[in-house]
A and B are shown apart, each in its own frame.
Chain A
């Protein structure tokens, strides 16, 4: 079965500081992994995805994530936080079978302090 665990339901960083949002996955097959961002009262926007190509994945808005099989991790990073990064971030894993549906973590709310 597939699942993800997001460590830290709330993360606060200062503007300009490094952003690190943690995601660990569990999957019985090599996974496809995703990070989505959700702004208040909006749907989900895809930041980046890992589909078994390069292990370091670059996404939109300066975010990137590294797939580490040995650690079963897919942490999201951004070198310098911007006020507009404040949002809810969700990590998700795909089951890659049947419906290829996504299993989401419980989310991490990022606050950026000016």
Chain B
């Protein structure tokens, strides 16, 4: 059974640029959530995708957007990057039969 994999592991972008982060969910999991973890903080919920539709969103602006594909993998897109977007971005997958989330190792985004 494969876990959640995220790519890339590290990324450096310039303010104003756009970035795409990728996530492959654990086998058998059809729900993917994204979290932002700023340095020294707990993760904060960005949004969740279920069956390719957004199924809930946290307090993040529209420049944070996402996609889920038929194989349940997912992308997080962030437009017009700001310095405060620098954080660890975590992807988590789940399924109706498993209450809880399996997290990936994250993508460390640095905006300069």
Q: With contacts A101-B33, A101-B56 known, is A44 near B44, CB below 8 A?
A: no
**Chain A residues near B94 (CB-CB < 8 A):** 100
User: What's the A-B contact tally at a CB cutoff of 8 Å?
Assistant: 61
Chain B residues 85-108 with CB under 8 Å of chain A are: 90, 92, 94, 99-106, 108
Tell yes or no: B18 within 8 A of A by CB: no
Q: Which residue of A lies closest to B34 (CB)?
A: A101
Q: With both chains docked as a complex, state the minimum distance between the C-beta of A66 and any C-beta of chain B, in angstroms.
A: 18
Tell yes or no: B2 within 8 A of A by CB: no
Tell yes or no: A80 within 8 A of B by CB: no
Contact with A along B28-40 (1 / 0, CB 8 A): 0000010100001
Tell yes or no: B8 within 8 A of A by CB: no
Report the Cα distance A102→B32, complex, angstroms.
13
**Chain B residues near A42 (CB-CB < 8 A):** 105-106
**Chain A residues near B33 (CB-CB < 8 A):** 99, 101-102
Q: With contacts A99-B55, A106-B41 known, is A43 near B104, CB below 8 A?
A: yes
Tell yes or no: A49 within 8 A of B by CB: yes
A-side interface residues toward B, CB under 8 Å?
32, 34, 36, 41-46, 49, 51, 90, 92, 98-107
Given A99-B50, A99-B55, output 7 extra A-B contacts at Cβ < 8 Å: A36-B103, A43-B4, A44-B92, A44-B103, A90-B42, A101-B58, A102-B35
